[in-house]
Amino acid sequence: MDYLENKNWPEGFVKRMQQQLGSEADAFFNSLADPSPTSIRLHHSKGRSSFDLSDHVKWCDTGYYLEERPFFHLDPHWHAGAYYVQEASSMILDAVVQKLSLDDQPKIWLDMCAAPGGKTGILAKNLRPADVLIANEVVSQRKSVLYENLIKGGYLNTFISGEKSSNFPEEFADIILIDAPCAGEGMMRKEPEAINQWSERLVYSCSILQREIVRDAVKSLKPGGYLIYSTCSYSPDENIDNVDSFLRNHPLENLDFQFPDDWNITEIKKGTATGYQLFPHKIRGEGLFIAVLQKKGVPKALPIFSKKQTRIFEKPEGLFEKFIQQPNEYLNEITHDGFAIINASAESVAREVRINLPRAELIANIGEQKGKDFIPSHFLAMSGIQSDNLVTIEMSMNESLDFLERKTPSFEIDHPMGWSIAKYEGSNLGWMKNTQQGWKNYYPMNWRLRNRK
Instruction: Indicate which residues carry an active-site annotation.
Output: 232
- Amino acid (one-letter) located at 26: D
Q: What is the DSSP letter of 305?
A: P
CA angle 212, 220, 150 (to 5 degrees): 90
Rounded CA separation 339/256 (Å): 43
Distance CA 282, CA 265 (A): 8
- What is the length of the chain? 453
**Of the candidates 218, 281, 268, which has an alpha carbon nearest to the alpha carbon of residue 247?**
218
| Gap between the Cα atoms of 149 and 424, Å rounded | 19
d(CA 96, CA 279): 17
User: What is d(CA 47, CA 389) in angstroms, rounded to the nearest whole number?
Assistant: 22
What distances in angstroms separate CA 188 from CA 59, 225, 386, one per listed residue?
23, 34, 43
Q: What is the rounded distance in angstroms from the CA atom of residue 188 to the CA atom of residue 394? A: 42
| Beta strand extents in 255-299 (DSSP E only) | 266-270, 273-278, 288-295
